[in-house]
Each structure stands twice: as C-alpha cells, then as structure tokens.
Structure 1
Amino acid sequence: MSGSNPPSRFVDVSTALSTLGRVSVIGVVVDVFGGIFKSRGSSSCITFTIKDSGLDNGHTWDGLKIKYFKDNENALPPVQLRDVILVRDLMVVKRYGNQMGVASDDNDIPWAIFRSDPDPMSSSAPLCGPSPFEPTSSERVHALNLLNSVASIDGFRKAATEHIISSHGSFVQAAIPNSKPFTHRRLTLIQDVEERTFVDLVGEIVKIYTNDSEKVLLYLTDYTTNESLENHQVDDGGDNDFGDVYGYQKRSKKNWPGPVGRMTLPVTLWEPHASYARQYLKPDNVIHLYNVHIKRSRIDGMVEASIHTNRPNANKINVRTVDGQKGEGVEQFFQRKMEYWKANPRKRKQGKESEPQQALKKPNKKQRKKAERMEEGQVRISHATNKRYAPNEQIQAGNPSVPVQSLETILSNKFHDNVSYDNVEYRLPFQNFCYRTTVRVVDFFPPKLEDFAVPRYGNSDSDDETGTNNSTGFVRWEWRFCLLVESVPPPPAGQEKERVRVFVAGPEAEHLLGIDAVDLRRNSTQLANLREKLFLLWGDLEERKRDALHGGEKSIHESGPVSSRPFNCCLREYGVICRHRPDARDANGDSDCSDDNCFGWERRFSMFMTTIRD
C-alpha cells in the first residue's frame, strides 16, 4: 500500500490485539527492545511496543509489540520512549500465542512519529517514512491527544529497572527485586509438594541452564525425598554438560553434583525472573522461591515446577538469594544438608570422571597378558563404540534437561496403551508428546534440494521480514521437507532397528537451518548455502543421492554406507488423518479406514528446537 493512498480508518490498540490481518493503529511507544538489529536475512529490524490506554498501570506486556523490517536501516522508524507513532497497513499475526504487528520488508508500511519538543514555538509536524506523506486530520488530532496525555506520566514501569546483557549478548530488562516483602505463602518442603498448587520453597541450586533466551531452568533440592521426582544417580550428570556457547571447547563429563535419588525438583523461570537468574544465580546458591506452580511434566509425567510472570506486577521478582543461615526454613535446610552429606560422603565438585586416575594404576598380571595378546592397532571396543556414536556437537537440541530416548522406546511408548471403561485394551494411534532422541539421517525427500522450499499462499503467521501475497503478486516461500532417520546407537541384538520419517517445515525449519526460504531454482547462492549447511547434518548423503539420480542407481546405499553422523534433536509427536481411507464412500456415506489399528489417524513426527551451528 503506498503512503500517498488514503488509509483505512485507524483502530485502537485493544482492537488490533484482537484482530488478525491488516490494520492502521496509533499508540504511545512504551518499550523499545534493544535498538536496531540484523535479522536472519538481509533486513534490519527494530522491535517496539505501543499502548493507547492504561499508560500508568506500571507494565508494558499488555501493549501491541511491533517488528518493523527494512533492508535500508534509514527507513526504519527511529522510535523513542514516549513517542506517539502512527503505523498504516500493519499486518497483525499470531506468534507464540500472542498477537504481534509485523511490517515486512516487501511491503511499504507508512509510519509517522509525533514527538514532544521543549520549544513551544516549534512546529508539530511529524517525522514520516519510509516515503513522505501527510497524516489525515483525524490521525493528527488523535496522535496529539495521546502525546499530551504522556506528559503527566513519569514512567511506564512501576519498579525500577536496569539493563542487563544476557550471556548470549541479547538485550533484556530485568527488574530489581522489590524492597517490600512478598505476599506470604505457605513454605513447603519438596517432599510435600502436590501438583496444581502454588507454594514457596527454600533450597539449593544443583544445576542451572541459562542458554535459553526466554527462560531459565534450574534444579532445586532441599534434601527431602518425593517419589514423583526423577531418580538422579551419581553418573547421570554428563549428558547435560556442554562446553562454551560457541562450541570450541569440548564438553566435560561430570557426575551429578547434587544428592542422589528423588530429591531434586526442576524449576522453569520465565521473565522477568529469568533475567534476574542469569545475572545473580549460580550453582550452590541457596535461594527462596515464591509463588511456585507445581505441575506434572507432559513428557515423562514427573513433578516439575515453574514461576511465571506476575500479572498484577509484571516487574516483581519471585526469586531471592538467602544470606546467612537465618530465616524461615533456612536453619532446617542447612541441618538436613549437613546430615545428608555426613551420611553420604563423596566429592561433589568432581570434574572429569575418574578414568585418568584409574589409568595411572599399575595393571595386574592378567591385564598385562591380555594387552600383550592384542594386535598392533587394536582399540578397545567400548572406546571405539563411544566415539562412533558420539553426537555431532554442531547440531544442538533444546531442552538439555530432558533425557534422551531411543526411537525404539519412543515408538513403543507405554503411555499409548489404554483400557476402556468396559475393560477393552487398545493402543492410541498417537499422543501429543515431545521427545529428545539421538538419530542419524539415512535419506530425505524431496530428492532434490531445489524442492525443499515451496511457495506458500495465505496470511503470514510469523514475524519474518518475508511478506505474504498482495496485489503485486508477491509469493512467500517456506521450507518443507522430510528426513528418514534411524536410531543411534542400534538396539540390542535380536531387536529390529527402527526408522522414522521426520517432517521439517515452517519456522522450525528456519530455526534448524538459520536460512530464510526462497525460490531455490532462481537463487543459486542460497541453494549453495543450504547444501553446505545440510552437509553438517547428513555428510555426503545429498552428494551420493545426486550421483545416484544421474547414474540411474536404485539406492544411494549401493556404493556403501553414507557418512552422516548421529545428532541429538527434539521430536514432536502428532496425528493427521490417515492415508488408508478409500476414495469412495460406502452406501451409508461412511468413510471408514481400512487399517483396523489406526482409528482413522496416522502417527507422525516433526523436528523442533533443533539448530545447525556453523
């Protein structure tokens, strides 16, 4: 839509928040997220939030967040706090369950900024872009009224805030904990927590993961036992310990540093508690948690906990470190801790496992004879096996705290078994579960990389700078392809190795590849980037498949095994209408499935929260 064309009438922010599609909106800028940054494509982006009511309610999460993309950074709206901005023809989409405004680079989205000037003789003319235009009289009057209302407001957040740079370099705002005490809730021991309750907890941080931009995961213990928690053992701490965030340092194997058994509760902290935790919390800290929501995990059914944003006061922090050994429940905690480690002595800060120390021991006579019989160049089977099945560190999967399961275990998930009210046993065709597994790619579809991106018609549901169809005939492209994967390591002898089709599409594919979808038949540069990126995922598989297609071979495996390495990934299980339905309906108009075991549904898996790091 050109800036010179007459706009449709603007709507208020609350209407925009309940709408999907294009709107014109005017509001006060109450938050600017970190300034201008580069998107995954070629565009620059600025993110800000606007409101036109409740400006003095002390929070900004109830406003409309807007992402504005432009290749030319000078065409972005230079918004500042307390500005009033008009945005015409803004696309409102749903992202992560919330409405968001997206101004894509492919559309000319007019904006006008009204800003207070200390000079009373100055002109009230707004700053307009990307192309010059003149706001209508109704737009100007409404904007100036909002600008006048801002003058009497001291700030848009009640609690004092400070700027924090997270470990990933992204800009966040974390509220300073309130000086006044929290509303008191019943202090509860981990042994007494029950799902669907809100409690206060005092405990020690066993582990903490801060590498997620939206949340922080920590493991808390107060040295009491709850049978609904995961059973931790001394040697189960290594799978979740990564090296540096850039992948240059190899991961170190560490023992579980906390108490063994069912004594540790996983707690997820959402904003603003997550930002506070990234800066102030570390392992071994004793902390007090307030308003903790106890629930059951949808993955393994174990008890877990979370602390969400405080709606009455969005800046309130429900986490505090404990100073000294005084306070409600604190003395009792330290007493339990002392008694546990006195009864279970071991080195808690053990770094690498004791293999190097064991290697220094002098071998006995039997071990020396066995070593002499080994031929030159032989290696121990256990060492070779571990190295062969070690996951590719360039492929990183989210949720590092979730245990890895094999494909065989996933496909035979006992939670799919069910019994009806009349005691008829049956198996559900699918469940909406999420898993973490280790696999390797053995094939893919479509057979040509040029077909991995397809045109998408309809409204956009993401905040990327690529747009949607409009009157100019622009076509938005998205990723859509399928991987055939097999379980790693292979199952024990006598058990069949499972293979599963994994579908990768849309935003999750963009997260995996880090590349925006385009017409690959017309963009050779992006095709080369895709080929190079996928080489990290599957080795020479695509090259072998390309040669097989040109050479007329029936299988890419005829010339030997491919070089694809195992990697960790997150899989989402879901269901679609099954493919067994007959084309014609019967005389009663029914369309029953010909497969008695599928109940009309087909079980499928898609990849998510997995990314390829260069």
Structure 2
Amino acid sequence: MAPHPNEQQISLPSSFTSIQDLYKRGRGNLVNVIGIIKDFKPPIRTRGTDHKCEICLYDRCSEDGSFDSITLNVFRPENEMPDPGLGDVIVLFQVKFQERSEVLSLVTHKTTDIHLYSARQIPPPPESASNALRPEPRKATHKPGQPIHEYVSFFYHSVDKSCIPSEVEFQDIKAKYITANEKFKELKDVQVDTFVDVIVQLVRQPYDNDYRITLWVSDYTENDSFFNFTWKGPTIRADKPADPHEYESVMPYVADSGGEWKGPFGKRSMQVTCFDPHTAYVREQGLSIGSWVFLRNLHIRKGRNDANIEGFMREDLKINIAQMDTKDTVSPDPRLKEALRRKRGYEELKKIQSQEIFNASWAGKKRKSDLAEMGITSSDKPKRNKNKKKSKKKSMGHEESVTSSAVGSTISSTNDNNSNVKCEYENKPISTFEDILDPIYYKTKINSKEVELQLPFVNLNYRADVRVINFMPPDLRDFAQPKRMSEYAMLSDYEESDADSDEERGSIADRAAVRQWEWRFFLELEDANSPNDHGGKKKTLWVAVNNFSAQCLLNLDASDLHQDEDNLDILRDRLFLLWGELEEKKSIREENKRRAARAALSNTNLNRPPSHSSDDEGPAPRKHETELRSSQISNLPFSCCIRQYGVKVREEDPAKADAGKGKRWQRMFGLFGTKIVTHQQQAV
C-alpha cells in the first residue's frame, strides 16, 4: 500500500537500520530495527531458566515482489517474553546481528529492549502511535520517543501487508504450536495411558517382524517405570582384553532384543513398537541405531510383562515419525539440542566411570597371565632406575602440566633458535625425545602381588627444541581437509575432539559441495638437543597438527586449498618461516622417487639392471637421498609444545586388541601452543 500523494513522507530514524541495509553491516554488531510482525512461534523451554521464541518481521517489499524479512530469536525467562499480535509493529533496540551457516538473523542481547505497538490501535499519520504502545513485560533501558511514535504510524499505514496471514490463520498456527509444546514430553515425564510427542535416539538396531518393527529409544533422561539395564562390568579373560565399552547386562523379557545391550545403562531406554504406516517409513528412510527421530502421538501404556511402560505407534492415516537433522546449525530444534547435551553428559560420565576399570582390570589380568606363562613373578622383573621410575610413574587419564611432564630434564633452550616461532611455555624446562618416548609404567596389585604394567599411552605435555625435517601429506594443498560433522555440531559449546582417528573421519567425494574445512597435517620433528646415534642420526618424532593447533601455528583459517590460491600462497610463506627450504627439498626427493620408479619400470622392460646399480646413469641412489635429508635441510631449531595422547585403531589380532574388540590403543603425539610470528607481527 503506497502512501497518499499529499501524505508527508517520514524517514526511518537515523539510529535505526533497515533490514536491507543490515547486509552491509558487520556481523556481531548491535543494531536498532523496526519491522512489522508476520509470524510468531510461542516460547518453548531451553536449558536453564530461559525460554526461546521466534518472531519473523519485515519492513518493505522489494522490487521483485519478495519481502525484506529476518527472524528474531528471543531468549528470556518465560514471564518476560513478548506476546505479539498479527501485524503488530516491533521496535528493537540493541539486538545482535549474526550470521550462522550463511543465514542472517537477529538475537537478543542482555541490553536488548523490545517494544510492541498494537496494530489495531495505530492511528493514521500524522498522528502519534504512542497510545498503541503495549505495556512492557520487563524494565526497559531504551524507550521510543515522539519521532519513533510518529514513524510507526507512517510505517504501518504505508507498508505492504499482503504477506501477512489472516487473523484466523495466525491464531490457528499459534494454537497448534502451543498445543504441540504442551504435548511434548521428555521420557522421564511420560506416564501410562497418555499420548505424547518425544524426540529420541534409536539406541539399538530396529527389529523388523514384517507387520511391526520394534525400536529401543532414549533421550538420556531416566524414568522409574523403564527397564533397568545394569552394567556388571567388563568380562576379564586372559586370552581376550576387556573393553570398557562392551558391557554384560541383563536383557528384558523381549526375545527380539538382538543380543548384548551396549547402553545407555540404567532406566534410560524405552521399547517402542511401530505398526503401519510407520513401519514403512522406518524401512524407506533406513532408520538405524544412532538416528534421532521425532515421534508424534506416541501411546504410552504398560508392556507385556506388566512391569515396565512401553510406547506404541498405532495405525494412523498419517505418518507420525520424522527423522531429525543433527547437522542443522541454522535453525536447530532446541529440544533436540537439549537431548544432545544430555547424551554428551551421559557419555562423559560413562567414560569417567569405566576408565579406571579399563586401566587396571584388563591390563592386570593379561599381564599376570603373560608373566605366568613365562614363569616370571613380579619379584623377578628387572628394576629400572629408581629415581627415574618414581618421577615417571603416572596413571593414565590425568593431564599433567608442561613443568611436570618435562621429566628429569635440565636442558635449556639454545639462543640460536628460530626467532620466527614462539612457544606458549617458553620458561618451562626442555624435554628430550628420549624422555618423551620412554614408556610409562603403572604399579598395581593383583591377588596381593605387585606388578608393573606398561601403559599404551599417557596424557602428558612437554616442551622440546626441534627442527622440522619432513611433513605429510606431501602436497600442501592437502593440509586442509573437509570437516567431519558431528551430531554435537549444533551445540554452541561444541568443540570437536582432536584425538579422532582417520578411520572415524568421513570421506567426502564432492569437494566442491563442502563448505567447512579444517587443518589436518603431520610434521616429523628432529630433537635438536639429542646426540647423534651410531648411524649419525638424531631421534625423530611425528606429531599431528589438528585444526585448533594449526590455527594457532599459522594464524590462518582452513579453506579448500585446491581452489584458494591466495590462502595457499600465505600458507607456503608462513611455513617457510618454520622450515626454510624443506618443501623445495622434499619436492626434489619426491620427483627423484618418481623418476626412479619410471626408470626401474623401463629398465625391467628392456631386461636391463635397474639404474641405481650404475654410477653414471639414472637418478640418485638411496644413500644420496639420505644425505639430502640429513645435511641439506638447514632450518633453525625452535621450541614447541608437544602432547601425548591415545587413539583407537583397528586391530585384527585379539591378543593386541587392548582397546576393545577389534581395537587397540595407539600412542600419538600432537603439536600445540606454538605460533609462527610474521615479520609484521614482530614489528608490532
């Protein structure tokens, strides 16, 4: 609706920003906005005392017929929530303009004030809309003055309202949303003879019995009416290592439960039986263990044993199962986020409770059996240096400071270190690779006999003087990889573990479709302080550089370096400050290897000896490659922080599977707290 020709034009107050102009503002800024309300989702409970509601507002119709609209996310206690009506004008002071996953939105800040003008009471201009201002549910710091009252009248009567639904439609949508929220329950609150909506995860593979499908689900809350899955502890056998994540438990009465229960333990899981058309949905969508689903109109009643309650998805004209998307970081369901937080809390608690048993029980049994087979008792075991053993004996799972982990070290950093590299703990003692690589033993008693068990790894931090002598992958463009998405990614406090093994990271075929990238590469370090061995070499160590550590090291975010030539050039320049001409020398070695392979294949075809048997033809021999590696790489040493940790890897030999069935622990080392300082930063 355009204003009357004789009607006075009133401009948007200077302290306010139009929705169209928000795109020109910096993300994260606090802005003032005026709009008209076209959609409203009533408050739902979130973590803690806050609730959340969503308000969609717009301020103009664009030339293409679309509307400049944006969503406001309001986080406040329930009694301070706004309750807008259809077409009300909203005036926002100090709301945060944000961008998440390329979607723009507004979110309330502690300084945000929200003012609503009732659409039915806004007079035509030039009259003031002050009488249409509705009472505030909370005390406001910023209050609209007369210029804003006058602008609201002009704005409301001049803006196109064709996109606003009718009053009947608006109230119907609002009522349905409220009813859905009231019907939604966490599993801890479900009761017999009720129909509820729940968000749950499948914790066991669905059992398909043709005309029905049985699910076991959990939202990681506890209900006294659920079956109690108890953990009896790991089965300790000399010929099979225990697995802290494999549990013996008592299964309930159902015959189709599908073997051992893997968790969650306690009264956290409920059986759900599905009938058509829900069975068809489960099959077609391929729902499996780990899937999160929204179950609507779930019937709760006593189970067949008359002891525990169960859920039933009855026959219906519509499908009441919907799969949830845990990768949706744009508009995630807050109820799903709360369930994910509960799951994460449960897993952390389970890990803590099982780790101590894992460290001692299975290792003790296996070690005792090995000693018995060899006819060795604990008193026969050779003793290590008493002082060194005392200083190094640490129990796995306890983080140590850099000071504590620099075991028995009195080495000081040389003044000839690379000035382009800074270490977070420059005043801490230096550890040698001999210290770092020396195994750690855990002293325990088994059947009243004292034994020492070598731990597969320990969580310790060190500082060392090193030089970079190699890196992987060989192509710098592969230093950045597509980011693996976790179901916890939608949580605002999510931090991905940097100890994930390669086998746990998903592969992505279409690189162009990936929007998020992370650093992941490896450096081979040489101990600058250790003496040469009999072969003239120093001790070396491979360290992993994860995304967080690489961001610290490079002061650069990861991107698709196969496409991003600018970032690739920056990466190459900064790594030159770290390792000098290493990349160039490595390229020569790689090319020599390729030439050797081609020449060997050619000579084989001609029935001639390989070229490396002749002194005057073909590529350099392997000995020369070794000399190239040790003498021609002349970069300066630098101090860095190194941490030791463990990851699970596949293991086919049951005798070596010390991390569970088909898994073993592999000791790893990672770089952290180290930064390349550019010349510009040094100047500052």
Flag whether TM exceeds 0.5 (same fold).
no
Q: Which has the higher helix share?
A: 2
Q: Normalising by structure 1, report the TM-score.
A: 0.39
Q: Normalising by structure 2, report the TM-score.
A: 0.35
Which structure has the bigger radius of gyration? 2
